[in-house]
């Protein structure tokens, strides 16, 4: 009863932790000014990204902008990270392109609602905690890869060219070729100036909002000196009323379930990894993964009613937020509010911000995201960790986020399985002869062997375990000590049962000792324990099993002696017959 009450109390406490608390805004009194400046800086950076990702998804610029506002506010209030910035992302835009082409804007909004419901369900089930098992080399490789992707993506605006819709590497190469044919050095100078100002300013004084000042300075310079440099341009200036006309679960939802699952997985993965990276960029910060899933779920559930697109935690904007000195949720809230003000009131001024200046902000951010020291330490640690990190980085650059993390986790899992499988051991144990007479000790030495099984007995180690165990020869009894088996899956149980049957078929009796109840279940399901129990071969302690084996050998030896004597008597009687 006490355990049940404790479990219920734990569940209630975990459920309460999914919702906002007073501590969420504990930093406001001390850091409100730095949060406001960080939010303003992120908003300036997020504006062209929101518009661009909206256009790239096929839903239009306004869809990206309204998503940054609505989802940004909801995720900032309900999410599990104090530093996360939510909005449309490049990865999400790529996934939405075919969906928008086949099911139009209404289908994408319905998918967003369905994905939001799935994310809320994952949060209530506590699925977010499993994100902590993503290996550190995967996170480091992913972070560095995203930094490289962000920098390469900014190459077209930095060169004064339109964005490329081709693959990342192909688009960068085409941009370089186009620039070489007709170079325009003004955008390059703006980008280089902003990058240099941010990197140097962060070294001199970290509290100064260098990105914002650099963007303002670049805007002023371009306004007076280089009016030909590309700028953001005009913005939409209206907030629509919520509508629910797209909700058609009966006819549309069955066709969109697979897309909703994919977007749910992408949002969860991208958001939790972004929050993890934000934690790693700070000291003493830890997000609540389940609450982050809840916040992202509610954001995706509500945003479509305003015409928005599916969103997730945005690593680039989150990194800008952290690097700009954000200390709490007020920064991400400010980002969303400032975007709304820009759309409603400041559109004519924001329209003159050069795209090259924003490219410089993102390039500087990407440079600061790559932790060279951590990467070198991982590269020097073990070959396995280095391989996982570099492969994840390469997959992030060459493919996309989902493939990168999947490849990294798969490789890390395979390497871990290899290490774990090598840790299982089957070692012969010497039998203690101190308590036996000389003739009994000789009997034990000649006919009984004890093996200690240690470590996880699962599919990766099963074959090697079987080969080691079946190598035994010239014995009458095998005692298997199971007390140090840490894990046993169905494959391990099947192999163990097969080994016992093979030994029994060879006339070798098998005794088990120290078998844990949790490990007995799979063996019982295979029908191997019932015969051993009926024959008295299951024991709690190894000494008891050896004593039983000794009694068996003595009984077998006496029977053999009687049979030998009876045979001799029969031979003598037959010899006396005429």
Per-residue pLDDT tens for 26-55? 777 777 888 899 899 888 888 877 877 787
The total number of structural domains that make up the chain: 2
If asked whether residues 455 and 527 sit together in one domain, one would say: yes
pLDDT at 39 (0 to 100): 92
Q: Which domain holds residue 508?
A: 436-574
- State the Cα–Cα distance between residues 148 and 314, nearest whole angstrom: 15
State whether 404 and 453 are in the same domain. Answer: no
Predicted pLDDT of residue 435: 45
Collapsing DSSP to helix, strand or coil, 24 comes out as helix
For residue 2, name the pLDDT band (cuts at 50, 70, 90): very low
pLDDT value for 437: 45
Claim to verify: residue 284 and residue 375 sit in the same structural domain: yes
Q: How far apart are CA 376 and CA 327, in angstroms?
A: 29
Q: Of the spans 60-74, 87-101, 121-135, 434-448, which averages the highest pLDDT?
A: 60-74
Q: Is pLDDT above 70 for 363? A: yes
Domain end position, chosen among 419, 452, 478: 419
Nearest to 271 by CA among 136, 398, 83: 83
Ramachandran sector of residue 226 (left: φ over 0; alpha: ψ -120 to 50; beta: rest): beta
CATH number reported for the structural domain that contains residue 507 in this entry: 3.30.750.24
Do 292 and 205 lie in one domain? The reply is yes
Q: What is the pLDDT, as a whole number, of residue 67?
A: 95
The CA distance from 304 to 302, in Å, is 6
> From edge to edge, which strands make up the β-sheet containing 477-488?
425-429, 448-457, 477-488, 509-513, 538-539
* Residue 242 sits in the same domain as residue 377: yes
What percentage of the chain exceeds 70 in pLDDT? 81
Say whether both 102 and 153 belong to one domain. Answer: yes
SS3 536: coil
Is residue 107 within 8 A of residue 252, CB to CB? The reply is yes
13-17, 107-111, 218-222, 489-493: least confidently modelled range: 13-17
Q: Which residue has the tokens 């295979």?
A: 526
> DSSP character for 128?
G
Does 429 reside within a domain? no
Last residue of a domain, one of 389, 419, 449: 419
**Is 444 in the same domain as 413?**
no
Beta bridge partners of 484: 454
Q: 474-494 pLDDT, tens per residue?
A: 778 888 888 888 777 777 788
Report yes or no on 19 lying in a domain: no
Which of 4-18, 166-180, 368-382 has the least mean pLDDT? 4-18
Per residue, the 3-state secondary structure of 252-309, as one string, reads CHHHHHHHHHHHHHHHHHHHHHHHHHHHHCCCCCCCCHHHHHHHHHHHHHHHHHHCCC
The reply to whether 52 and 179 lie within a common domain is yes
Both 269 and 382 in a single domain? yes
Q: Of 25, 539, 103, 545, which Cα lies nearest the Cα of 327?
A: 25
Asked if pLDDT for residue 183 goes beyond 90, the answer is no
In a domain, 526, yes or no: yes
Q: Give the distance, in angstroms, between the CA of residue 460 and the centroid of all CA atoms in the same chain.
A: 22
DSSP string for residues in 402-442: HHHHHHHHHHHHHHHHHHHHHH-EEEEE----TTS-HHHHH
Q: Please give the pLDDT value at position 302.
A: 95
Does residue 312 sit in helix, strand or coil?
Answer: strand
Average predicted confidence (pLDDT) for the chain: 79
Q: Which of 419, 447, 470 is the last residue of a domain?
A: 419
pLDDT given at position 577: 57
372 within some domain: yes
Output 129 or 267, whichever has higher pLDDT: 267
Residues 415 and 452 occupy one common structural domain: no
Token pair listed for 323: 């690097």
pLDDT digits (tens, 9 = 90+) for 204-217: 765 566 777 888 88
- What is the mean pLDDT of the segment spanning 388-395? 87
Would residue 276 count as lying in a domain?
yes
Classify residue 21: in a domain, yes or no: no
Sole residue written with tokens 């599990």 = 80
Q: What is the pLDDT of residues 403-461, one digit of tens each?
A: 777 777 777 777 766 666 565 556 565 655 444 444 445 545 557 888 888 777 765 55
Please check the confidence at residue 241 and state whether its pLDDT lies above 60.
Answer: yes
- What is the value of pTM for the model shown? 0.65
Assigned domain for 359 exists? yes
Residues 396 and 454 in one domain: no
Q: Cα separation of 149 and 187, whole Å?
A: 20
The CB-based long-range contact list for 397-402 (8 Å cut-off, 24+ gap) reads 397/145, 397/148, 397/149, 397/152, 397/168, 397/169, 398/168, 398/169, 400/91, 400/94, 401/91, 401/142, 401/146, 401/266, 401/269, 401/270, 401/273, 402/91, 402/265, 402/266, 402/269
pLDDT digits (tens, 9 = 90+) for 308-354: 999 999 887 898 888 888 888 999 999 999 999 888 887 777 778 88
Express as a percent the part of the chain with pLDDT over 90: 13
Predicted confidence (pLDDT) at residue 178 exceeds the cutoff of 60: yes
* Statement to judge: residues 115 and 184 lie in one domain: yes
């Amino acid at each position: 009863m006490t355990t049940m009450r404790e479990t219920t109390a734990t569940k209630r406490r975990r459920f309460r932790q999914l919702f906002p608390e007073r501590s969420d805004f504990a930093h406001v009194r001390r850091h409100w000014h730095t949060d406001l400046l960080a939010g303003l800086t992120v908003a300036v950076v997020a504006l062209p990204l929101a518009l661009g990702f909206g256009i790239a998804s096929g839903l239009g610029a306004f869809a990206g902008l309204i998503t940054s506002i609505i989802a940004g506010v909801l995720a900032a209030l309900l999410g599990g990270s104090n530093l996360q910035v939510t909005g449309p992302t490049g990865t999400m835009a790529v996934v939405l392109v075919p969906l928008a082409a086949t099911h139009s804007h209404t289908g994408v909004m319905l998918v967003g609602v369905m994905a939001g419901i799935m994310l809320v369900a994952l949060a209530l089930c506590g699925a977010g905690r499993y994100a902590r098992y993503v290996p550190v080399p995967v996170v480091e490789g992913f972070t560095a890869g995203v930094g490289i992707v962000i920098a390469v993506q900014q190459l077209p605006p930095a060169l004064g060219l339109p964005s490329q819709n081709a693959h990342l590497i192909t688009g960068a190469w085409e941009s370089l070729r186009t620039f070489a044919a007709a170079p325009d050095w003004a955008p390059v100078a703006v980008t280089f100036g902003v990058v240099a100002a941010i990197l140097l300013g962060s070294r001199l004084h970290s509290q100064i909002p260098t990105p914002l000042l650099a963007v303002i300075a670049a805007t002023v310079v371009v306004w007076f000196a280089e009016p030909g440099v590309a700028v953001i341009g005009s913005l939409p200036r209206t907030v629509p009323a919520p509508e629910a006309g797209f909700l058609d679960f009966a006819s549309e939802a069955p066709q969109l379930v697979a897309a909703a699952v994919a977007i749910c997985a992408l949002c969860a993965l991208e958001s939790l990894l972004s929050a993890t990276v934000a934690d790693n960029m700070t000291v003493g910060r830890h997000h609540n993964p389940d609450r982050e899933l809840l916040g992202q779920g509610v954001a995706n559930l509500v945003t479509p009613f305003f015409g928005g697109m599916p969103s997730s935690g945005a690593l680039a904007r989150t990194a800008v937020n952290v690097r700009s000195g954000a200390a709490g949720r007020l920064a991400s809230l400010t980002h969303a509010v400032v975007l709304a003000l820009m759309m409603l009131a400041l559109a004519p001024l924001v329209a003159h911000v050069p795209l090259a200046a924003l490219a410089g902000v993102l390039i500087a951010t990407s440079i600061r995201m790559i932790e060279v020291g951590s990467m070198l330490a991982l590269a020097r640690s073990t070959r396995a960790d280095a391989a996982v990190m570099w492969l994840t980085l390469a997959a992030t650059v060459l493919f996309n986020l989902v493939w990168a993390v999947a490849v990294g986790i798969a490789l890390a899992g395979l390497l871990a399985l290899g290490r774990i499988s090598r840790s299982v051991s089957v070692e012969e144990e010497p039998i203690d002869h101190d308590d036996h007479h000389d003739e009994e000790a000789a009997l034990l030495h000649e006919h009984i062997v004890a093996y200690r099984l240690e470590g996880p007995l699962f599919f990766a180690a099963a074959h090697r375990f079987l080969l080691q165990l079946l190598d035994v020869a010239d014995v009458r009894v095998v005692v298997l000590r199971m007390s140090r088996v840490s894990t046993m899956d169905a494959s391990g149980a099947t192999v163990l049962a097969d080994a016992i049957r093979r030994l029994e078929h060879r006339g070798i009796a098998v005794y088990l000792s120290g078998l844990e109840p949790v490990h007995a279940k799979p063996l019982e399901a295979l029908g191997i324990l019932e015969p051993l129990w009926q024959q008295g071969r299951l024991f709690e302690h190894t000494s008891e099993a050896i004593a039983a084996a000794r009694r068996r050998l003595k009984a077998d030896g006496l029977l053999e002696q009687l049979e030998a004597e009876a045979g001799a008597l029969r031979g003598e009687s037959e010899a006396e017959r005429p």
